[in-house]
Amino acid sequence: MANNSIPEAYDPLIQLLEDAADGAQTHGVAIGLVHNDEAKLRLNLTAPVGTPAGPANVPPAQPGLKSLWNTAQATKTAQTAALRTTQSNHRFLARTCIRSLFPVLGEDWNSAWQTAGFEGGSLAVPTNPLPMLQQLRAYFAANPARETASIQGVACTAAACEAAVQAISTAQSTSNQSNTNSGIAHGNYLDGLRAARTRLSNLRDELGQLIPDDDERWYAFGFEKPADSASPETPENLVLTPGAPGSHTLLADWDDSRRSTNYRLRAVVKATRVQVFNEIVHDSQGIIHLPAQPAGTELEITVTGRNAVGESSPTAAVTGVLP
């Protein structure tokens, strides 16, 4: 019996929703579909996908939950980078201000540096210099005679330290909010996918009550017929295209087969029946490259469909001549 499991991954889930909505549009009334009709399916589809703009942008496009999450992720990345840049820029200010106090407090940490807020036995500037700049601001405010208006263009003053503190604080707040927004957007996206999976599961159950297990209309909704075997169908329409002369390459294409998650592509030498190629490919195409075989060798090519249950019977062999 075919396994009509609901996909977890985004792309196949959206494809199944598309197929289900189209199937409901075509067959919903005829089979008496009520609880999971086209309108409900399309709501679950547009939530993650969004809607395109209408003519002359009326109505305007509406981003879906996937797009909103993508945007929130990009914003989070950008704001995190902006925070790191802001912190890095103002670490230079902190180091410059520390050096400006060397003549007064010494070039190495000692108890005199405690008056400037350096209580940890070190003058090293941390990755986030905000607390250090707050202490330097307080020190310069209490000792204005030790402020320096410009050290190679850098002001070591209470006002400069305060401006740096505010810049870091603003960048930190913006970064924190972008983290929150990204988390909310991700949660909304996951909720939308869960709702879509529930809708499709309910549709599958409702179809099971309305049409027989061997009814062809299951396919129109994107499902397998429950009466189908769980094994993949045999691929069809295998076509071979020779590569450039001397390339020792054949290109193989075939139609997707139902229930196949990947394919086995084989080649045997027609004259000797020796297998010279056996590879698993994930798309309905493959490249047979056999540099060890002489040009002009006749090969018989076959394809089988594969999934977790098993492997289909092979296609009828197609003969190709190695260029």
pLDDT in tens, 57-69: 888 989 999 999 9
Dist. CA 48–CA 39, nearest whole Å: 15
Q: Name which residue leads in pLDDT, 257 or 275.
A: 275
Answer whether CATH 2.60.40.10 is correct for domain 236-321: yes
What's the whole-number mean pLDDT along residues 144-155?
93
Place 173 in a pLDDT band, splitting at 50, 70 and 90: very high
Decide the pairing of beta strands 154-156 and 148-151: antiparallel
The predicted pLDDT at position 259 comes to 83
Place of tokens 């798309």: 283
Give start-end residues of each CATH 2.60.40.10 domain in the chain: 236-321
pLDDT in tens, 81-102: 999 999 999 999 999 999 999 9
Amino acid making up residue 58? V
pLDDT in tens, 285-321: 999 999 999 999 999 999 999 988 889 999 999 999 9
What's the whole-number mean pLDDT along residues 23-51?
96
When mean pLDDT is compared over 34-38, 52-56, 308-312, the highest value belongs to 34-38
- List of residues 6+ apart from 25 with CB closer than 8 A: 38
Q: Where is average pLDDT lowest: 3-12, 136-145, 176-185?
A: 3-12
Place of tokens 């305060």: 162
* CA 217 and chain centroid, separation: 33
What's the whole-number mean pLDDT along residues 148-154?
92
Under 8 Å between Cβ of 263 and 286: yes
Place 1 in a pLDDT band, splitting at 50, 70 and 90: low
- Is the pLDDT at 283 greater than 90, yes or no? no
Please state the length of the chain: 323
- List of residues 6+ apart from 192 with CB closer than 8 A: 44, 47, 48, 64, 65
For the chain, the C-alpha Rg in angstroms (whole number) is 33
Q: Name which residue leads in pLDDT, 121 or 168.
A: 168
What's the whole-number mean pLDDT along residues 267-281?
95
The predicted pLDDT at position 5 comes to 86
pLDDT in tens, 227-251: 887 788 899 999 999 999 999 999 9
Place 54 in a pLDDT band, splitting at 50, 70 and 90: confident
- Is the pLDDT at 219 greater than 80, yes or no? yes
The predicted pLDDT at position 317 comes to 95
What's the whole-number mean pLDDT along residues 252-260?
90
